[in-house]
Amino acid sequence: MQKLLFDFLSKYVSLTEDEMDAIIDLDTFQTIKKGTILLKEGQHSQDGYFVLKGCLRTYYMIEGEEKTTAFYTEMEGVTPNCVLSKGPSEYYVAATEDAIISVSNQAMETDVFDKFPKFEKLCRILSEKLIAKQQINFDAFKTSSPEQRYLNVLQKRPDLIQRVPQHQLASYLGIKPQSLSRIRARILEKK
């Protein structure tokens, strides 16, 4: 797993042996089982998560129904809003499949940034990319029909179709599972 992480990081910064050893010494890697809830609504947390393998999902519970807002897969990170606001979480973070993640917190990051300033630059670059990606996804969601949203997932994140349950995918698309089934049937008819 460390090789996967270092290969990913090398796209943005070159790491020395000391820097790689420092990351390994942090001992942040965790293996989690499908269904594990990492963060619950109302809980306080200082942890951010980076997915090395697997899939995490963020969702809200609204009137007893799960509303999925995002999926995070390999080489994607999520820092829950409560980490920055220091308040309780408004949503859940859970594993939709067995996963290997890196868990970090601000104190740990500050320590690493002090020792290795290039990591702060790396985190800034990755944060900027994440913000831009989320804005594009939000805009696409707001300006697309449910069928267009599904086609967008097919084009940009086809792995999700096989990796997440249909009811979670439907929730992510802002529709009911029955509507997703009808959309899939219409698309198949057009082929």
Q: What is the CATH number of the domain that holds 25?
A: 2.60.120.10
- Do 58 and 93 form a contact (C-beta atoms < 8 A)? yes
Structure confidence at residue 11 (pLDDT)? 86
Which of 143, 174, 179 minimizes the C-alpha distance to 70? 174
Contact present, 168 and 96 (Cβ < 8 Å): yes
3-class secondary structure, 33? coil
Burial letters 3-29, b for 16+ CB under 10 A, else e: eebeeebeeeeebeeebeebbeeeebb
Query: Six-digit token pair at 145?
Result: 């029909």
Asked if residue 133 belongs to a domain, the reply is: no
Tell me the average pLDDT of the chain: 91
**The predicted structure's pLDDT at residue 35:** 97
In a domain, 125, yes or no: no
Q: Is 180 contained in some domain?
A: no
Domain count, the chain: 1
Phi and psi at residue 104, in whole multiples of 5°?
Answer: -135, 165
Residue 136, domain member (yes or no): no
Is residue 15 very low, low, confident or very high in pLDDT (cuts 50, 70, 90)? Answer: confident
Residue 77 falls within a domain, yes or no? yes
d(CA 86, CA 84): 6
Give the residue numbers spanning the domain of 81.
2-118
User: Does residue 165 lie in a domain region?
Assistant: no
Residue 160 lies in a domain: no
Average pLDDT over residues 44-51: 95
Does residue 39 belong to any structural domain of this protein?
yes
